[in-house]
Structure 1
Amino acid sequence: MITYPHLKKGVTIGVTAPSSGVPSELHYLVREASERFELQGYRVHCGETAWTQDKAKSATAKVRAEEFNRMITDDAVHLLIPPWGGELLIETLEYIDFESIQPKWILGYSDVSLLLLAVTLQTGIATAHGTNLVDLRGEKTDPTTAMWEQVLATKAGGEVIQYSSEKYQKEWDFENPTPHIFHLDEQTAWKTTNGESADVGGRLLGGCIDVIHHLIGTPYGDVATFRRRFVEEEPILWFFENCEMSTTDLRRCLVQMKLAGWFEQCSGILFGRSDANKPVEGYTAEDLYQELAVELGVPVIYDIDCGHVPPQVTLVNGAYAQVTVDKGKGKVVQQFC
């Protein structure tokens, strides 16, 4: 059985940086986000790693893992949100005490998704792939991003529904901030490889494919054992988002996943929007999606609200999800069963 944490209003949020911390010139981002949470009734406890950044990481692997271990076992901390992603979270895995992890939500994406997936696979505790801390500092939060709170407040046995966004942000414009941080100016359209509607269900697993594919072949990436221990061999509905890989890099990663058995009993695959999906000698991401749908014989849905092209829905590793797409509109129903 999957264990689902439960978010209550007014609890303490722990801010730790298991990947990248925030350099001094950007500390105001963390302060603004903390103030915003406090105005909403939460308390915020920032660890030391949130304020430091050197050589592509917030601190040494051991220091990052030790702070995470302290917060995840601290009864006074109820929710962990890293400030943002980064590059080298994988260094911390061997120092994380997975056996002592308590059922509390961890929310984030990008490099943090590697930790989310590892925690769920190792422990059966649900984790939340969604927004990061600094993107919650605005005067307002767009309706898609704002659903993180409702998703995390859903009780075990409950159900939560999310819908595709109306518009997404094509490019950042840091010089002209908006009240809700993002510049949502492009029409959203969820797509399918068959060009028609789609309806697929399964246990959600996934994250930023750039980093989570490095779990393959390690003790932290044992999908088959996860399925046996925690979800009674139910099929997996994978979700991926591509941050920086070329189309051919992405193809290699997906083939590796297939060869490693990650797609055994796969019910479908969801792909987030990506700026990195540039053609390589005419080979497009759409070509790749079509190939994958044929090879695996499953629905492939793409350009969903997930990842580095905001906004994004909150997808829970371990939850059962039913995802439908019709005429470019998407619906995600997650059951905490």
Structure 2
Amino acid sequence: MIIYPLLQKGATIGVTAPSSGVQAELHDMFKLALSRMEKRGFKVVCGDTVWTQNKAKSSPAQKRADEFNQMMQDEQVNLIIPPWGGHLLIEMLEYVDFENINKKWLLGYSDTSVLLLAITLKTGVATAHGPNFVDLRGEYWDDTTAMWQTVLSTEAGGSVRQHSSAKYQREWQHHNPTPCVFHLTEQTCWKTASSNPVKIQGRLLGGCIDVIRHLIGTPFGDVQGFRKQFTNGESVLWYFENCDMTTTDLRRSLVQMKLAGWFEQCSGIMFGRSPANHPVENYTIEDIYQELSDELQIPIIYDIDCGHVPPQITLINGAYAEVEAEGGKGTVWQYFK
């Protein structure tokens, strides 16, 4: 059985930095996010790690884990959202108290997805792949981003539907902020490897492939154990997004996942839009999607609303999902069962 937390109105958000903290020159930006969330009725509690950043991490691994463990066990904290991702979250996993993961949401993406996936695989507690705390600093949220609150407020046994965005942001323009943070200028188009309409269902698992691939072969990446213990062996519907990798690096990572058994009983794979996917010797991202679909004999949907090219749908690790893609549009039903 998957355990689903529930976001209550007026919840207290704990902000801790299990990966990167906020550099001093960006503290004002973070404080804006904090004040905007408080105006929306949330109480916000910040850990010490949020305010520091040195040598590609907010603080030493043990300190990051201690602060996360404390917030996870603090009954006054209802939801944990890191400020953003980073690079070295994996360092603190061995110090996380997985025996005492409480029934509360953890929300984020990028490097945070290492912790999201590890928690769900080891404990069966659902986790939320969606906006980071600083992404929520706008005067208003676009329709896709705003669904994080609705999704996390869905009760166990319930369901929630999300739609593909109308437009997405091609590139970050931090020097030119908008009222909703993102510059949504490009027409969203969900695509399939077959170019035909696709419908897939299965238990959602995934994250930023650059970092979650490093869970393979560790105690934190036991996908088959998760399926047996928590889902009665149901098929997995994977979602991935590529932050920095070239096509050959991505291909190596996907082959490693296949060889490690991550794609056994896989019903399909979804890939988010990417700022990377750079071709190597004419080896394109479309080549990879087609090869993977042919090898695994599964449908593949790509350029979905997920990851470093916002906005993004809030995807729940552990939830049962039905996903449809047709005519450039997508629908995601998630069932908290």
Q: TM-score range by the shorter chain?
A: over 0.9
The 2-side partners of 1:172 and 1:2 are apart by 36
The 1-side partners of 2:119 and 2:30 are apart by 25
The 2-side partners of 1:195 and 1:259 are apart by 27
Equivalent residues in 2 for 1:80-229, closer than 5 Å: 80-229=80-229
4+ runs deviating over 4 angstroms = none
Matched, 1:5 2:10: no
Q: Letter of the aligned partner of 1:8 in structure 2? A: Q
Shift of 1:301: 0.3
Equivalent residues in 2 for 1:35-50, closer than 5 Å: 35-50=35-50
The 1-side partners of 2:138 and 2:128 are apart by 21
- Please report the RMSD computed on the Cα atoms of aligned residues, expressed in angstroms: 0.4
Q: What secondary structure does 1:220 align onto?
A: coil
Which consecutive residues of structure 2, in runs of 5 or more, have no partner in the other structure? none
Equivalent residues in 2 for 1:285-300, closer than 5 Å: 285-300=285-300
Cα-to-partner distance string for 1:187-208 (whole Å, 9 max, x where unaligned): 0000001111100000000000
- Is this contact kept in 1: 2:289–2:300, CA < 8 A? yes
- Is this contact kept in 1: 2:245–2:278, CA < 8 A? no
The 2-side partners of 1:208 and 1:323 are apart by 19
The 2-side partners of 1:7 and 1:29 are apart by 25
Shift of 1:175: 2.0
- Is this contact kept in 1: 2:2–2:231, CA < 8 A? yes
Cα-to-partner distance string for 1:260-290 (whole Å, 9 max, x where unaligned): 0000000000000001011110000000000
The 1-side partners of 2:164 and 2:11 are apart by 29
Q: Letter of the aligned partner of 2:224 in structure 1? A: A
Question: What residue number does 2:66 align with?
Answer: 66
Shift of 1:291: 0.2
Q: Letter of the aligned partner of 1:316 in structure 2? A: I
Q: What secondary structure does 1:31 align onto?
A: helix
The 2-side partners of 1:134 and 1:43 are apart by 15
Q: What secondary structure does 1:203 align onto?
A: strand
Cα-to-partner distance string for 1:161-182 (whole Å, 9 max, x where unaligned): 0000000000111222110000
Cα-to-partner distance string for 1:181-230 (whole Å, 9 max, x where unaligned): 00000000000011111000000000000000000000000000000000
Give the TM-score of the pair, scaled to structure 1.
Answer: 1.00
Which consecutive residues of structure 1, in runs of 5 or more, have no partner in the other structure? none
The 2-side partners of 1:207 and 1:133 are apart by 17
The 2-side partners of 1:129 and 1:11 are apart by 19
